[in-house]
């Protein structure tokens, strides 16, 4: 079956009510130790494993994705592979179980998967990560800075310096180190995509440090896009709303909020990672050749600005 015919036969491309397309709360209590595993979530997240159909938009491209074991990063890795890209995946060693599944899915598409576990809060590793990805893939065309840390706290007095530092090192410092190194290897036509959040625009009081990092990512994206425009490298961001990923039950939200997660959106449910993948594909592909310095939102109807 051709890609076009396969796409036409997939039910996810049929018009349907987005409110009922995926599970809505209430959800069961499901505490996990950070960083959490997708395989332990109830219901299981949809990363597009059985639904995403590629059309060759990224054929021959080489991509590095952080936080690629689960959640948004996993959905992006699957979509990129099905669009024809080879993918280097970064994740924490504790996430190996989920990462192995992603590697298998990429290889099933006949694409190369390079597993690069390690902690990006370490500057030396972050820079080495890019070097290893370039060596294994033979170059680098796409960078997706997606890995993130989120810990809910009731008030500013409850945020320790250790937590504040680790959130910034994961979400901002690592993005800076990895991007600084990646730019050395990227040429005209390259694409950098950063994962920010609706929290950059509508911060929750219990996510003070996390929201601050996501606002920094928006500014970083806009400034870097202006720097790299003269090199022909595009820089954009994606701002998810509440998405059903391991970040939430492993400390990103209280269990009470996990049970009602996504209920506050106009659609009344959280987003699934599969619902974001096409945004990253668009920003990575030549279809978005005149788009740089932009932030695309996927928020279930909540307004970003």
Exposed, middle or buried: residue 11 (CB in 10 Å: 0-12, 13-18, 19+)?
A: exposed
How many residues does the structure list for the chain?
305
* Residue whose entry in the numeric block shows the structure tokens 């625009």: 201
Helix axes 96-108, 71-82, angle to 10 degrees: 20
What is the Cα–Cα distance from 150 to 209, expressed in whole angstroms? Answer: 8
What is the Cα–Cα distance from 197 to 184, expressed in whole angstroms? Answer: 27
Catalytic residue among 173, 201, 210, 280: 210
What is the Cα–Cα distance from 257 to 66, expressed in whole angstroms? Answer: 26
91 is catalytic: no
- Specify which residues 295 forms β-bridges with: 237
Residues with catalytic annotation? Answer: 210
């Amino acid at each position: 079956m051709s890609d076009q015919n396969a796409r036409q036969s997939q039910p996810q491309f049929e018009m349907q009510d987005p409110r009922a397309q995926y599970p809505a709360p209430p959800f069961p209590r499901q505490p996990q130790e950070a960083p959490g595993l997708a395989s332990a979530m109830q219901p299981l997240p949809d990363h597009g494993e059985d639904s995403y159909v590629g059309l060759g938009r990224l054929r021959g491209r080489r991509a590095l994705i952080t936080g690629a074991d689960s959640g948004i990063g996993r959905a992006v890795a699957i979509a990129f592979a099905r669009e024809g890209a080879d993918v280097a995946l970064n994740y924490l060693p504790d996430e190996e179980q989920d990462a192995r599944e992603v590697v298998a899915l990429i290889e099933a598409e006949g694409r190369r998967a390079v597993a690069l576990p390690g902690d990006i809060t370490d500057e030396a590793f972050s820079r080495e990560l890019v070097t290893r990805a370039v060596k294994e893939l033979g170059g680098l065309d796409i960078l997706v800075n997606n890995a993130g840390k989120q810990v809910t706290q009731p008030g500013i007095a409850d945020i320790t310096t250790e937590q504040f530092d680790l959130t910034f090192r994961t979400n901002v410092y690592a993005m800076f180190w990895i991007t600084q190194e990646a730019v050395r290897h990227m040429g005209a036509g390259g694409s950098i995509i950063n994962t920010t959040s609706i929290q950059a625009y509508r911060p929750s009081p219990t996510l003070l440090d996390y929201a601050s990092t996501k606002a920094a990512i928006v500014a970083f994206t806009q400034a870097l896009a202006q720097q790299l425009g003269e090199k022909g490298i595009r820089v954009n961001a994606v701002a998810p709303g509440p998405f059903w990923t391991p970040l939430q039950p492993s400390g990103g939200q209280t269990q009470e909020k996990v049970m009602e997660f996504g209920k506050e959106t106009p659609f009344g449910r959280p987003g699934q990672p599969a619902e974001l993948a096409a945004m990253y594909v668009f920003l990575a592909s030549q279809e978005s050749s005149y788009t740089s310095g932009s932030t695309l939102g996927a928020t279930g109807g909540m307004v970003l600005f």
